[in-house]
Amino acid sequence: MLRTILVDDEPLSLEALSFLLNKNENIELIGKYTDPLEALANIKETKPELVFLDIQMPELDGISAAQKIMNLGLKIHIVFTTAFDQYAVKAFEMNEVDDYIVKPFSENRLRLTVDRITQRLQNTRGKQNSAKQITNKIAVWSNNSIILLAPETIQYFTMDGKKVIARTTGDVYECNASLTDLEYNLENKGFFRCHKGFLINTEYIDKIFPWVHSTYMIKLKENNTQIPVSRHYAKKLRDMLGI
């Protein structure tokens, strides 16, 4: 999933974009802002993978905001949104801008853009993985020190505010990696993304209960922790378990 932030000074436009992107299983919305300056501060902190950025905004226009994002030196994909095609063409000429979308938003057009960026990101990760050996350990923080955990000792990863947390049977650790990166690196080690906020080790699943609106609740072994399975991931869970 692409950790995504939306920036548009028009609340109605922002909500329309949010509504359509929430339907996309490859999108994880982590923030939406009408104030571009507030958005920039949060982009610097949360390091999203994708930003939808309106071109015409007061205080700071989208082109200037995009340049500031690029200057952060982070690997962030930028998509411009605008009601005027001539501004989009000019903006799209900037280096490192992935796409532009003209309002009103179309779900199919958005999906095309997201699919293209997702494929591009997967290709980049594939090249990175072929160029170096991936460690079999997960680096986490404990008492101002970094320790390496074997994936099989981790029950699940979740979010605590803006922090990623790794939970083992007896301890809780902070992890610098995003849930999306962890999902990608651990997909062949028995981990399942069951919710935007949870990545679970299937070895620790005790029971699965049907829940409301075609969702499920997972109970873990060794404790009474219950973890939700959202509608986005319910079908994948059923396919995985053959139910």
In the predicted model, is pLDDT for residue 72 greater than 80? yes
Give phi and psi for 241, each to the nearest 5: -95, -5
Q: What is the pTM of this model?
A: 0.56
162-220 residue pLDDT tens: 789 999 988 999 998 888 888 888 878 899 999 989 999 999 999 999 988 888 999 99
CATH architecture of 138-241: Beta Barrel (2.40)
Report d(CA 1, CA 160) in Å as an integer.
18
In the predicted model, is pLDDT for residue 97 greater than 80? no
Report d(CA 63, CA 132) in Å as an integer.
36
Task: Give whole-number Cα distances, 220 to 113, 142, 197, 207, 225, in Å.
Answer: 37, 24, 16, 7, 6
214: region left, alpha or beta (phi > 0 left; psi from -120 to 50 alpha):
left
**Domain residue limits, the chain:** 2-131, 138-241
Report d(CA 236, CA 195) in Å as an integer.
11
**Structure tokens of 40?**
């920039």
β-bridge pairing 77-82 and 50-54: parallel
CATH of domain 2-131: 3.40.50.2300
For 132-174, the DSSP string reads: SPPPSSEEEEETTEEEEE-GGGEEEEEEETTEEEEEESS-EEE
